[in-house]
Structure 1
Amino acid sequence: MKIELQAYGKVNLGLDVLRRRPDGYHEVKMIMQTVKLHDTMTFDTVDEDVIVLSTNADELPVNEDNLVYKACRMLKQEYQITRGIRVFLQKELPVAAGMAGGSADAAAALIGMNKIFDLQIPKHKLMEYGVKLGADVPYCIMKGTALSEGIGEKLTALAPMPDCYILLAKPPIAVSTKMVYENLHANELKEHPDIDGMVMALEEQSLQGITERMENVLETVTEVRYPVIAEIKACMKECGAMNSLMSGSGPTVFGIFTEKEKAEKAADAIRNRKLAKQVFVTQPYNV
């Protein structure tokens, strides 16, 4: 038996950090949006008791250091599955980009294992397994437009994002999420994104209301260290983006456009200025 699944990336339309908790975790309030850009994963059962992971992306590990491998192993152990699984990961999403690419792959692995071995695990239970792998994994199982609270594990489905074009650009830098959070003085932040207002704008299906509230407090750390992020945002706005923002802890920047032609012209401008090589025009993915 063989199945193929898509693992969709995400952007944060709004990202607020409310406080640093005594246990070191940060309490967040974010609006997540799935995009149509995705990795493709192929699952195939084999008779011997193995997990074989392969990928087109040389920089990714294919052993227990990969979340896909961990997800497969978790369900194999939990449900005492003696048959093996072969997974091929066709990577299209940028790696370490603030788009939950690894979490999306782990989510697809849990869904794929559930389907291929007919485990009949309900979605809410799959999401519980997901949180053991990473804070973004439950959301990547859920997909669509969602409010994320707590440390990212409390999810509330929201009205879907209106149709638009989303330009994604990942500059050739590596940003450590750990570094960003360690340098964010969450308890001293003077300004916070209007997340509640964005929820209302989604209810009203007002793209203008959504884009004018786009804000990410993590930019206060990342933009200072990596000026290219601000340059990409400015380039997108110059080319007609309603607004532009860094996704997650970066370094991917996204812009919202009403017209595909404008988004594609902005993509060309970013490439021509050598601000980023990994540039994609996509759309919101709503379940």
Structure 2
Amino acid sequence: MFLYEKAPAKINLSLDILGKRQDGFHDVEMIMTTIDLSDRVELHLLEKDTIKVSLESRFVPNDERNLAYQAANLLKKEYQVSQGVFIKIDKSIPVSAGLAGGSSDAAAVLRGLNKLWNLNISTEKLMQLGLCIGSDVPFCVYNGTALVTGRGEQVIPLPAPPSCWVILAKPNIGVSSKTIFHQINVEELWHPNTQRMVDALSAGDFAEMCEAMGNALESITFYNYPEVARIKEKMKKSGAYNVLMSGSGPTIYGLVEHEGQAQRVYNSMRGFCDEVYMVRIIG
């Protein structure tokens, strides 16, 4: 038996850091939504009690360090599953990009194996399990659009954003979230207005949504990687309504209502950055 699961990327419409927790993680307040840029995860049941991961990416391991592998291993141990699984991942989401590609792959494995192994685990329980793998995994299990708080375990559904285009530009670097979070001084951060974004989504107001966009981590990533700041400035000049870094970076994205304008921003960025994508919000 086998099945396919779509593993969509996410962008942060708003990202705030509230403080450091006793467990070493940070309390976050984020609004995330999914976009139409996805990995494809293929799951094949094996009689042999083993987990195998296959993907064509020299930047992503295919052993126990892989988050998809960890997701399968977690379910096997938690529910005493003796069947094995072969996981084939077709990567389209850039790696170490602030788009939760690895987390989304792990979430797809949790959802898919829940069906293939007939475990009948609730979405809420899958999200709890996902937190053992990474802070973005609970949201990726849920998908859609949500306010995410705590260290990522509290996922509160929100209305989908107004229909629009997303242009993404990723420089030829990877950014480690751990490195960026290690440099956080909460008192020195700029803090976006999360409630303003919630209100904009509730009203379906595209212009207000763009105005409310904000990411408290931009200043840290821009300090460490000035080329990311340059990409943001270039995209702003190219005509996007508003431009923001997703997650801890380095991907920069801009929102545009109309396809013609989105195409112009996309073409402008293609001459400035190697990896550029033009997709829709699907959250």
TM-score, with structure 2 as normaliser: 0.96
Structure 2 residue aligned with 1:126 = 126
Q: Which residue of 1 aligns with 2:184?
A: 184
Q: In structure 1, the residue corresponding to 2:132 is in which secondary structure?
A: helix
In the TM superposition, residue 264 of structure 1 has moved relative to its aligned partner by 2.2
- CA shift for structure 1 position 213: 1.2
SS at match of 1:133: coil
- Give the aligned residue type for 2:114: N
1:35 deviates by 0.8
Unaligned segments of structure 2, at least 5 residues: none
Paired position in structure 2 for 1:281: 278
Letter in 2 for 1:59: F
Q: Which amino acid letter does the alignment assign opposite residue 73 of structure 2?
A: R
Letter in 1 for 2:202: E
Q: Distance in 1 between matches of 2:22 and 2:6?
A: 38
Match of 2:100 in 1: 100
Matches of 2:258 and 2:131, distance apart in 1 = 37
Deviations 1:53-80 (A, max 9, x none): 1002122111111111111111112222
What number of residue pairs does the alignment pair up?
283
Amino-acid identity (%): 41
8 Å CA contact retained: 2:7, 2:39: yes
What TM-score, normalized to structure 1? 0.95
Q: Which residue of 2 aligns with 1:8?
A: 8
* 2:167 maps to 1:170: no
Q: SS in structure 2 opposite 1:212?
A: helix
CA contact (8 A) 2:165 2:258 kept: yes
SS at structure 2 position matched to 1:60: coil
Contact 1:55 1:91 in 2 (8 A): yes
1:232-264 CA-to-partner distances (Å, cap 9, x unmatched) read 222222222110000000000010001122222
Partner of 1:161: 161
SS of the residue 2:248 aligns to: coil
Structure 1 partner of 2:250: 251
Residue type at the aligned position of 1:78: E
Q: SS of the counterpart of 2:17? A: strand
CA-atom RMSD in angstroms? 1.2
> Quick check: 1:20–1:187 contact (8 Å CA) kept in 2?
no
4+ residue stretches of structure 1 with deviation over 3 A? none
Look up the match of 2:237.
238
- Residue 61 of structure 1 aligns to a residue whose secondary structure is coil
- 1:85, distance to aligned residue in structure 2 (A): 0.8
Find the aligned partners of 2:268 and 2:226 in 1 and give their Cα distance.
Answer: 17
Q: Distance in 1 between matches of 2:153 and 2:34?
A: 16
* CA contact 2:95–2:174 (8 Å) conserved in 1: no
